[in-house]
């Protein structure tokens, strides 16, 4: 049996400048162990598997895996999966939106100005980190408490702890630890003083081997950062964030908030490779 697979670049301002995602289409016959093994073989930060929906209101279902575990929700796999599903010739039940079913429930995706945007899911953990939690994060980042403007749990699935610094330059200057003894997921944001990009974002997490990875562009983090920034009154209108700069990428995340105060996180999506995946169910 073979499966269609697409390699999609998500959030890139230009080709090959965002976060790559492997999307396997029609993966209903594959079990969890096979999905995890395939994800590790691709060796990308995440791989997404499209399946038939089980909820009557959904257009498709997606299972999202990192090298270590299955995720209930992640941002760039959401947009990349939707892009691949549409590219495969599918049509949504509603003209103006696509509904994705995932571990976090139903996620709405919109098409606007040729760009896909997902509605930010609610946080599952918020509030101020404890003194010990913040101390650990600052030790990991290599900065002092006086350099932190604000800190909060902004977890919408992956486990993000948000750290706000005074400037984009300070964010870009960070050189965190390369290994960490415990699982860690930290997102850092700081404002640009001038230009079309309002904020610089960096995301750090530990992989299944304890090595620290910097993610090129992270939709889930930018969604929760936006909720935090709007709630704190730091921003009041739409903005664009940059991510991946230190990695040589040009990620651009477009954030808006509608009249119902729903935050939407969008970016460009491009299929760069399409083919067939073979031999998975052979015995």
**Tokens at residue 46, please?**
């995440």
| Lowest mean pLDDT across 64-73, 74-83, 144-153, 223-232 | 64-73
90-106 per-position pLDDT tens digit? 999 998 899 999 998 99
pLDDT band per the 50, 70, 90 thresholds, residue 113: confident
Give the percent of the chain with pLDDT over 90. 89
239-270 per-position pLDDT tens digit? 999 999 999 999 999 999 999 999 999 999 99
pLDDT band per the 50, 70, 90 thresholds, residue 70: very high
Fold match, 2-120+267-278 / 125-262: yes
pLDDT at position 95: 84
Q: Average pLDDT for residues 219-246, to the nearest whole number?
A: 97
Topology of the domain comprising 125-262? Diaminopimelate Epimerase; Chain A, domain 1 (3.10.310)
User: CA dist 134 to 49, 140, 163, 205, 230, Å?
Assistant: 35, 10, 9, 15, 22
**Alpha-carbon span 65 to 32, nearest angstrom:** 10
Q: Average pLDDT for residues 166-173, to the nearest whole number?
A: 98
CATH 3.30.420.40 fits 2-120+267-278, yes or no: no
Examine the pLDDT at 282 and tell me if it is beyond 70.
no
pLDDT at position 279: 83
Q: Average pLDDT for residues 165-182, to the nearest whole number?
A: 97
14-52 per-position pLDDT tens digit? 999 999 999 999 999 999 999 999 999 999 999 999 999
pLDDT at position 198: 98
Delimit the domains of the chain by residue range.
2-120+267-278, 125-262
Examine the pLDDT at 208 and tell me if it is beyond 80.
no
Q: Average pLDDT for residues 156-168, to the nearest whole number?
A: 94
Give the chain's radius of gyration (CA, Å). 18
pLDDT at position 23: 98
pLDDT at position 1: 75
Contacts by residues 105-113 (CB-CB < 8 Å, ≥ 24 positions apart): 106/55, 106/57, 106/58, 107/73, 107/78, 109/78, 109/79, 109/82, 110/264, 110/266, 112/266
**Alpha-carbon span 216 to 214, nearest angstrom:** 6
Q: What is the mean pLDDT of the chain?
A: 95
């Amino acid at each position: 049996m073979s499966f269609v697979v697409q390699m999609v670049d998500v959030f890139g301002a230009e080709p090959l400048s965002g976060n790559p995602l492997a999307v396997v289409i029609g993966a209903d016959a594959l079990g969890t162990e096979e999905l995890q093994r395939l994800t590790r073989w691709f060796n990308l930060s995440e791989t997404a598997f499209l399946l038939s929906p089980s909820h009557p209101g959904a257009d498709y279902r997606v299972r999202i895996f990192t090298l270590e575990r299955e995720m209930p929700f992640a941002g760039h796999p959401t947009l990349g999966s939707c892009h691949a599903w549409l590219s495969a010739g599918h049509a949504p039940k509603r003209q103006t939106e696509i509904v994705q079913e995932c571990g976090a429930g139903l996620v709405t995706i919109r098409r606007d100005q040729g760009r896909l945007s997902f509605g930010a899911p609610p946080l599952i953990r918020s509030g101020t980190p404890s003194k010990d939690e913040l101390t650990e994060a600052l030790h990991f980042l290599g900065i002092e408490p006086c350099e932190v403007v604000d800190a909060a749990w902004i977890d919408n699935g992956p486990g993000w702890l948000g750290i706000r610094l005074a400037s984009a330059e300070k964010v870009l200057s960070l050189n965190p630890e390369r290994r960490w003894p415990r699982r860690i997921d930290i997102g850092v944001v700081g404002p640009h003083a001038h230009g079309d990009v309002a904020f610089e974002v960096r995301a750090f997490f530990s992989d299944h081997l304890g090595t620290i990875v910097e993610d090129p562009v992270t939709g889930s983090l930018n969604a929760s950062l936006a909720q935090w920034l709007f709630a704190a009154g730091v921003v009041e209108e739409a903005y664009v964030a940059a991510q991946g700069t230190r990695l040589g990428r040009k990620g651009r995340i477009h954030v808006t908030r509608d009249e119902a105060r729903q935050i939407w996180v969008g970016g460009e999506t491009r299929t760069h490779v399409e083919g067939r995946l073979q031999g998975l169910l052979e015995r």
